[in-house]
Structure 1
Amino acid sequence: MNKGVISILLIGSLLGLAGCSVKASQEKELEEKLAQSQKQIEMYKKEQEKLEAEKKKEEEKPIVVDVVDPNTNEVIKTFLPKEMGVGSNDEKYKEEIEIWVKELARGSDTTDGYDQRMIPDKVGENGEIIKGSPRVILEESELLDKLFSAFANGGTVELPLHVSESGYQEEEVAQLDEVVVASYTTNFGSSADGRTKNIELSAEAINNVIVGVDDIFSFNTTVGPSDAEHGYQKAMEALNGKLVEGIGGGICQTSSTLFNAVDKLGVSYVEKHHHSLNVGYVPKGRDATVSYGGKDFRFQNTAGVPLLLKAYTNNGSLTVEVRTSKANQSQINNGNN
């Protein structure tokens, strides 16, 4: 064999070895890529399994609705819609929720509700303003709508409390006693008995009270309990068609005198009741009986201007005046406009 042939065979052998080496390298690289891909697939599977587990856990987690008091940020009630029958017994759970909301707003025999009547501001002896408290209303229909919506996905529901401050400006107060726009006087005699004392106390309670524009005045809320603890005495009062002795007898003369005074203006009546028998201090049908914790005399100031109540006794008579400023006098709605 000559040298040329040997060279050719040698070169061929070397090329064959080189080809095997390249093939082995490529196979190794492919195996590494496959292993890496397999690893990625396993990681993806684990991630999907984790997501599925979290989703299942979330689906199994009960829907919760918390009701929060916006004044304190405290949770006052927690609802579990599924346990209440949402989706399975809607009529029953809605009835129960409506009862709960009504009691929450208006209170019960044992608990106070969120609804609060306005305690009006008063003018003090030195002209200072003695603050009362605003009217607070829990909007029942609004709360029901919020709850029924939240029962689908859960969450937090804030109580829709609407607060109404008195409708007057503090700078007006000094002029509110300038003009008497309405008044009424009744007589009760001059004897120093329990009835006289009760009329004097209740008149003092409403004296210098500010009734702002659109304010709702409540006699019972303003005067408070007419009991012995607050200085009221025994006197005759009308009850179930009869005259009987009771603590606080006589305060109805104050409420009736007030009614006849404000009735000369454009006010709206929220609550008003007559006695079970005729009374002698006002004409028939012109009385307004009250009983703390029961019947009340309430009116809304729709006269268009803030008013100041004045009430005083003098030699066996009771006078209630309604006053305002000279600037307001021409703007009063007296009910005939």
Structure 2
Amino acid sequence: MRMLSILIIIATLLVTPGCTPGIWNSSQVPSVDSQSQRSLREGTFLDDLDLSGLKVQEVKDKIKSWEEDKLAQNLLLVYNKTEIPVMRKELGISLDFEKIWAQLWTAQGQRTASSLKVDTVQAHQMLHEKLAQFNQAAVDASYTIENNQFIIKPAVPGRVVQEDSILEQFQNRSFTDLPGQIEVSAAEVPAAQTTEQLQTLAFDGIIGEYTTRFNAKDENRSTNLTLAANKMDKTLLKPGDTLSFNQTVGQRTPESGYKDAYVIINNEYVPGVGGGICQVSSTLYSAAVLANLPIVERYPHAMAISYIPLGQDATVNYPDLDLKFKNNTASFIYIRTEVKPGILTIRLYGKKTGKTVRFEQQIEKETDFQTIRRIDPNLSPGQVVQDQAGYKGYTVKTYRIIKDSSGALDKQLLTQDEYAPTPKILRIGAD
């Protein structure tokens, strides 16, 4: 019995806290708020902070004071030799107190490295404020058109400070190995519209051109033609855009400056507002065909007209009859119109392809015109006045002939048009 009692006493002493040297287990770590009188053993350090022999509350107070001193120190953020001092505390750095508290009491008599944590929200906010001067927005490439030349102003890439790379240097650190200076890096930010994109869109020359002539002495018709041509001038079509003649030129009204000139109604030339506009649309149509652009909408005149070959005309009448063609290329199409006395020229600028285009017409049928005689009591007996010359009617096929850089030909049927004969109209004095 005596031997058993001795063994029990020895076992009790072995499991009693403080009776044997060694490290405490986690269940023996005092609470942070504990008023325990336990003391840390000699040789217990937190980084360079000596905590030997201090009781729980003393340890807590000393660490807090030490932390405040450490966090009041500055870090230097350096970007391109420019130094920006920032307090550690401002960057959301703090001790991971709960973690190091457990380490101190379970590894007494040893040196424990401090463990830091970072409030990333606060850190990003402060870094953004302090380093905003080094951020630079990207500048998109832009262009101007001068003297029918597409001039590109190159893009300028932006930059943005890499805040995450700064924060990475605080992770898994102690106060001892926390850097006093951090080199700030910035990432390049590309422009939304790059120089290369504009180079793809840029036009480099004339891809379609056509000229027609008119009677400059017919002032009203010349005025209408000039107004419409000026409305069309400098129109820019992006890839995929469809041009509408009516939308571009607008409604032809006296209020818009348009005057009465001859138009075709019921196969006769009669005065009407905007006469002469169709010469602009017909010239534009021919230039668009020669530019090898797809025609979306086009109508021939009811009768053959004199200022352009058969099959190359395009009548318009706001808002019902329109001329439309599409930019199916990868570059801009730029339209220039030029009106000189008696001469209208329309040029389409785009990206040259090495192809050439021409028209080819094939007359399928001709129809003679009739002569219409009308009695005019205001004329002398037997007197004859011709109000309208007669012209034959035609059925015509029009082709677009495309030749590539190797000389190979592609013949495409564009249209088959029917033009009614234009009657000769005579006024005759009554007998």
Give the TM-score normalised by structure 1.
0.46
Bigger CA radius of gyration: 2
More strand by share: 2
Greater relative CO (CA pairs within 8 A, separation 6+): 1
